[in-house]
Structure 1
């Protein structure tokens, strides 16, 4: 099968999901056959401790469209997705969780929205959930905060069921716990046509959830990191230089005010005046000047690193070419 013949790559990251894999792979294969899709399924075993990898190997022998990658240890969902994105060959890449809470029956419509409606990315929205309130309430707060900071109007950033144009997954890089922010990263990289589809959420049939409440804490920190890198990653002087200049001039103004006050009282009003170093404002001015200088230097060094990086990689995304 040639690369161009593959219409859909289904990416399934997993950790200890041996019970659900046979049912999930059969379900995916049935949907693909019914819709005459050419496809591949990429199971990424994120260091499972059960028989998940043995099950994947057995499934790949029965169905040549099924492929697998196995990590030597648990690296996390983001690492699994990044690895799968590099290996995926389909024109449309669809991600879903391995726990059967995402329905493969959604695949045809997701594919249509990418190919016919020309979306860069379509994110699932589990409008009706079967999770406990201890999970749904933090999720709603998290999604609201993400919408506010990122400007991406999605209801469910955590939904694992998403569809992407091939160009999107080949041109975004994720790390840490940034898998839930792929729509944000994609938008900030120029893939701005993002759609949303209400999808069916099914109760977990096997096993237990592998994520705790700590994912919201780490996720929020990752969001701040993404926002900072996107806005100032290529122009650090705009942030550090501006703050540094502001603090330097603030400290300088305070220092001159203290000096002017001392000169006025000594030589004009002939009032007693204590030593400048006894005034707390002196130390405030000193700290402001020092920190301002350091921030400005940090911005300058950042600009040098950015220039060096761009000259080596030239990693600006080009959508089309003409005349070549």
Structure 2
């Protein structure tokens, strides 16, 4: 199968028939074999009834329904598990992403050998209250992830090589960071394509300003897990040792300063009367606790079922023994 189109949705019954018809028209006009996977994230409108009707009209439509609302990441993860196409396209269900972009996305994955192509809505139809935080969020993500060539990490319109979506797990609110997840999994050929951002035709947006706070916290989480997930002692141990020795050096300096003043018959203050002593004491205690945290995290990591789960791209054929 050439293409799997994965569409997470929540209360989008009005747009679904038009979205499916548009995808069908583009895919069949270009001679693609395809499937369209509609993942209903616990909608409380008639979205599922519309999906069932669409599936009866076209057996290339597949529907998955959650019992309750789990979020976009969960919907994408389940859609990725079900996808069978060589190239997987994701898009939102609100008709703000254009299926007309699919042929070029497919070509770049197949011919230019990209692992992932992320859409860039260069000209947006959003208010400043949404575009300004989005620019700040994307800038911070570029700096922390090292993926300098992407301008819009959160664009719903993306194309993936099948190996990519079968090698990553999207959870929590990590759908914003799928390019980062792909990079940590070893897929480094990540590109960008300017795509059309269409005005919303039906319904209202499902996202508020809280997503930017949650998004930043998720970025910190994915950065830590990606870099130190298999060696937590390298992070906690290093921070703990630095804090411990900083406190120890300050304490030694305070004691040495007191002894010098005593030897020179100068007026001196007791070590415990100086605020710097308590700062040093806190640094020593915090350093010790960080080191113990790293030790416990290392024990948990060593006993995890994922401790030796590595991304293997290719294996040479086993030699024949004569």
1 CA distance for matches of 2:119 and 2:53? 30
Aligned to 1:217: 213
- Structure 1 gaps of 5+ residues are 1-5
Aligned to 2:184: 188
Aligned to 1:249: 245
1 CA distance for matches of 2:58 and 2:183? 36
2 CA distance for matches of 1:44 and 1:167? 21
1 CA distance for matches of 2:146 and 2:38? 32
Aligned to 1:95: 90
Q: TM-score scaled by structure 2? A: 0.94
Aligned to 2:75: 80
Query: Deviations along 1:215-235, whole A, 9 cap, x unmatched?
Result: 112111111211122222222
- Structure 2 gaps of 5+ residues are none
Displacement after TM superposition at 1:93 (Å):
0.6
Displacement after TM superposition at 1:190 (Å):
0.7
2 CA distance for matches of 1:212 and 1:58? 31
Q: Give the 4+ runs in structure 1 shifted more than 4 A.
A: none
Aligned to 2:201: 205
> Which range is displaced more, 55-64 or 28-37?
28-37
Alignment of 1:1-324 (within 5 A): 6-152=1-147, 153-266=149-262, 268-309=263-304, 314-324=308-318
2:303 is paired with a residue whose SS is helix
2:42 is paired with a residue whose SS is coil
> Which range is displaced more, 61-70 or 246-255?
246-255
Displacement after TM superposition at 1:272 (Å):
4.2
2:257 is paired with a residue whose SS is helix
Confirm or deny: 8 A CA contact 2:301 2:307 kept in the other structure: no
> Which range is displaced more, 231-240 or 36-45?
231-240
Confirm or deny: 8 A CA contact 2:121 2:194 kept in the other structure: yes
Displacement after TM superposition at 1:236 (Å):
1.7
1 CA distance for matches of 2:134 and 2:286? 39
Supply the RMSD in Å over aligned alpha carbons.
1.5
1 CA distance for matches of 2:197 and 2:256? 70
Displacement after TM superposition at 1:313 (Å):
5.1
2 CA distance for matches of 1:63 and 1:237? 53
